[in-house]
C-alpha cells in the first residue's frame, strides 16, 4: 500500500523521469543531468524513488509519452511506489535565442500539482551547461518540491506562478505562441503561392518575347518586357520571404511546449 510506506514527517516520495535534453551534446547532457540529480538530492523534505525502481518502470510501455500524457506520469508514480512523479524537459527554442524548461508534477491519483515553464536568454558565447544549471536551479525553486504533502489529499492542486527572472528569465506564453505560429504559417504559405504564380507568369511572358542575338526586344514589346522583368523581381522576393515566414510559423505552431 502506497500510503502505508509514507510515514508522517518523512517527506513526500517523488519519482523523477530522466531529464529530457534535446539540443545539447551527449557530453553536455551528461553534465547537466548529473547537476540536476545533485540538486534534487539536496532538496529537503523529499524522498526520491530508487534508480532501480525508476529503470524498471521506464521499461514498461505505459511509461512512454510522459512529455504529454499525465496518465504516463501517474503510472510512473504508482510503478515506483511513489506519491508523485515529475517530468522535465530543457531545450533551445526554435530560434535558438533562449533555453526553455518545462516541468510537471503529477500525483498518483492523476492530479496535476505543479506545472512550471521558464526560459533563459542565450547570448553569443553563452556556456549552455552553465545557463542550463542556473535555469534548472530556478525551476526547482519555483516547483517547491520540499512543500509537497507526504500524504494523499492534502496537496492543493494548482499551477505555481513562474518565479522572478534570472538574467533575465521569463515565462513562456505558449498559449499565444501557437495561434501566432499558425497565422505566420498561413501568411507565409499565401506569399509562397503568390510568388510561384507570379514566377509562372514571368516565365510565360518571357517566352512570348522576340529577343535578338544581343538580348534586345523590339520597341513594340518594350512594355511587355518591362512587365515580365517586374514579375520576375516580385517572384524573387515573395518566394524566399514566404518560405522563411512559413518555416518560422510552422516552428512556433508545432514546437512542443
User: Which positions ≥6 away from 228 have C-beta within 8 Å?
Assistant: 202, 205, 206, 209
Do 107 and 74 lie in one domain? The reply is yes
User: What is the Cα–Cα distance from 246 to 198, expressed in whole angstroms?
Assistant: 18
Beta strands in the chain, from DSSP E residues, in sequence order = 12-16, 46-48, 84-92, 98-107, 112-121, 169-170
The parent domain of residue 232 ranges over 177-254
Q: Count of domains in the chain?
A: 2
What pLDDT, on the 0 to 100 scale, is given for residue 39?
Answer: 93
Q: What does the pLDDT read at residue 140? A: 94
pLDDT given for residue 203 in this prediction: 77
Q: Give pLDDT, residue 240.
A: 84
Residues 101 and 60 in one domain: yes
Per-residue pLDDT for the chain (257 aa), expressed as one digit of tens each?
A: 333 333 334 689 999 999 999 989 999 999 999 999 999 999 988 999 999 999 999 999 998 999 999 999 999 999 999 999 999 999 998 888 899 999 999 999 999 999 999 999 988 888 999 999 999 999 999 999 999 988 876 555 544 444 444 444 444 444 566 677 677 777 877 877 887 886 777 677 667 766 666 556 566 666 666 676 777 778 787 788 778 877 777 776 666 55
Whether residues 79 and 109 share a domain: the answer is yes
**202 and 185 together in one domain:** yes
Spatial contact of 235 and 195, defined as CB atoms under 8 Å apart: yes
Same domain, 83 and 104: yes
Torsion of CA 45, 152, 49, 53, to 10 degrees: 170
Residue 53 parent element (H or E): helix 51-58
Residue after which a domain boundary falls, among 172, 196, 224: 172
Question: Do 165 and 183 have their domain in common?
Answer: no
The last residue of one of the domains, among 172, 195, 223, is 172
Claim to verify: residue 191 and residue 166 sit in the same structural domain: no
Q: Are residues 140 and 189 in the same domain?
A: no
The pLDDT value recorded for residue 214 is 59
The answer to whether the CB of 241 falls within 8 A of the CB of 191 is: yes
- As to burial, measured by CB atoms within 10 angstroms (0-12 exposed, 13-18 middle, 19+ buried), residue 235 is buried
Cα 233 from chain centroid (whole Å): 37
In CATH, what number is assigned to the domain containing residue 26? 3.40.50.10070
Helix, strand, coil % in the chain, rounded to nearest 5: 50, 15, 35
Same domain, 151 and 38: yes
pLDDT of residue 159: 46
Residues 205, 154 share a domain: no
Q: Within its chain, how far is the Cα of 135 from the centroid?
A: 15
- Specify whether 156 is located in the same domain as 184: no
Among 150, 172, 194, where does a domain finish? 172
pLDDT of residue 218: 65
Same domain, 233 and 182: yes
Amino acid at each position: 500500500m502506497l500510503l502505508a510506506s509514507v510515514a508522517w514527517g518523512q517527506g513526500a516520495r517523488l519519482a523523477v523521469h530522466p531529464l529530457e535534453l534535446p539540443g545539447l551534446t551527449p557530453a553536455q547532457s551528461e553534465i547537466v543531468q548529473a547537476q540536476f540529480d545533485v540538486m534534487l538530492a539536496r532538496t529537503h523534505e523529499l524522498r526520491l524513488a530508487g534508480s532501480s525502481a525508476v529503470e524498471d518502470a521506464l521499461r514498461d510501455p505505459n511509461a512512454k509519452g510522459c512529455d504529454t500524457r499525465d496518465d504516463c506520469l501517474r503510472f510512473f508514480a504508482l510503478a515506483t511506489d511513489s506519491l508523485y512523479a515529475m517530468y522535465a524537459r530543457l531545450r533551445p527554442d526554435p530560434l535558438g535565442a533562449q533555453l526553455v524548461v518545462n516541468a510537471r508534477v503529477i500525483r498518483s491519483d492523476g492530479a496535476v500539482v505543479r506545472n512550471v515553464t521558464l526560459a533563459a536568454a542565450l547570448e553569443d558565447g553563452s556556456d549552455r551547461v552553465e545557463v542550463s544549471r542556473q535555469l534548472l536551479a530556478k525551476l526547482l525553486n519555483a516547483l517547491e518540491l520540499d512543500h509537497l504533502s507526504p500524504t494523499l489529499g492534502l496537496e492543493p492542486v494548482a499551477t505555481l506562478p513562474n518565479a522572478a527572472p534570472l538574467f533575465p528569465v521569463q515565462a513562456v506564453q505558449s498559449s499565444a505562441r501557437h495561434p501566432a505560429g499558425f497565422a505566420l504559417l498561413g501568411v507565409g504559405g499565401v506569399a509562397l503561392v503568390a510568388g510561384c504564380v507570379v514566377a509562372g507568369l514571368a516565365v510565360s511572358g518571357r517566352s512570348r518575347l522576340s529577343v535578338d542575338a544581343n538580348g534586345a526586344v523590339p520597341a513594340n514589346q518594350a512594355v511587355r518586357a518591362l512587365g515580365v522583368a517586374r514579375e520576375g523581381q516580385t517572384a524573387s522576393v515573395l518566394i524566399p520571404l514566404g518560405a522563411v515566414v512559413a518555416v518560422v510559423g510552422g516552428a512556433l505552431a508545432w514546437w512542443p511546449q
